[in-house]
């Protein structure tokens, strides 16, 4: 408790005030690229869409699991572009990779990211998630480190909507609109 809040609490107790403080939000977990494995090794048994199959050796599933023993029910399915680059000639054209998807165990798309995780050269994505309830993160945030002139930015925050069984972007940003993160494109 800060000194200011302590003074207010003491004054409130003397004067008979009821003082409550908002609960602190639980810290977010950071997704490390080292947690991303070949889909079956990461616990994801769903199939790949046709547009992903050409990149199968580079596809990684990243479980978004909270602390404890509850297994992940949401994965980030992405293509590790740097591994792809390493296996292909520099003269090859950069492919139009499928956008990463947040997916359920049955392969159902829950949301999309408009940039590759962890690297979409020259950008690096930092994905954080939290408030995991029954294996499902309730909030996902992505910060993009961008060395280009435009600089760093955040993707729209995603919140779980149990009624629609999908993540919903909470805001537009200067770079992306809420619809850019939807599976319905």
Q: Evaluate whether 105 touches 46 at the Cβ level (below 8 Å).
A: yes
24-28, 77-81, 127-131, range with the lowest pLDDT: 24-28
Mean pLDDT of the chain: 84
Q: How far is CA 98 from the centre of its chain?
A: 16
Query: What percentage of the chain carries pLDDT values higher than 90?
Result: 52
Instruction: Give a yes or no: residue 8 inside a domain.
Output: no
Residue 5: the pLDDT is: 45
pLDDT tens profile 18-55: 444 444 566 899 999 999 999 999 989 888 889 999 99
- Among left, alpha and beta (phi > 0; psi -120 to 50; other), residue 183 is alpha
| Length of the chain (residues) | 185
Written as one string, the DSSP assignment of 21-73 is -PPPPPPPEEPPGGG-B-TTTTT--PPPPHHHHTTGGGEEEEE---SSSPPPS
Predicted confidence at residue 75, as pLDDT, reads 95
Classify residue 11: in a domain, yes or no.
no
Total domains in the fold of the chain: 1
The answer as to whether 5 is a domain residue is no
What does the pLDDT look like over 139-156, one tens digit per residue?
999 999 999 988 999 999
Look at residue 90 and give its three-state secondary structure: coil
Is 113 a residue whose pLDDT tops 80? yes
Q: Report yes or no on 94 lying in a domain.
A: yes
Q: Which domain holds residue 110?
A: 28-181
The answer to whether residue 139 is domain-embedded is yes
- Left if phi > 0, otherwise alpha if psi is -120 to 50, otherwise beta: which for 107? left
């Amino acid at each position: 408790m800060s000194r200011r809040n302590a003074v207010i609490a003491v004054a409130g107790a003397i004067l008979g005030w009821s003082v409550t403080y908002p609960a602190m939000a639980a810290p977010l977990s950071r997704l490390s690229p080292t947690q991303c494995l070949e889909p079956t090794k990461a616990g994801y048994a769903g199939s790949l869409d046709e547009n992903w199959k050409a990149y199968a050796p580079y596809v990684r599933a990243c479980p978004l699991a909270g602390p404890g023993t509850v297994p992940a029910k949401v994965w980030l399915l992405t293509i590790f572009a740097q591994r792809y680059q390493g296996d292909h000639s520099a003269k090859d054209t950069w492919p139009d990779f499928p956008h990463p998807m947040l997916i359920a165990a049955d392969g159902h798309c829950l949301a999309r990211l408009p940039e590759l995780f962890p690297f979409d050269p020259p950008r690096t994505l930092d994905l954080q998630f939290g408030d995991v309830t029954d294996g499902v993160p309730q909030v996902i945030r992505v910060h993009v480190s961008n060395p280009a002139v435009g600089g760093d930015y955040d993707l729209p925050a995603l919140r779980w909507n149990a009624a629609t069984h999908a993540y919903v972007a909470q805001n537009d940003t200067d770079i992306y609109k809420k619809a850019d993160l939807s599976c319905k494109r």
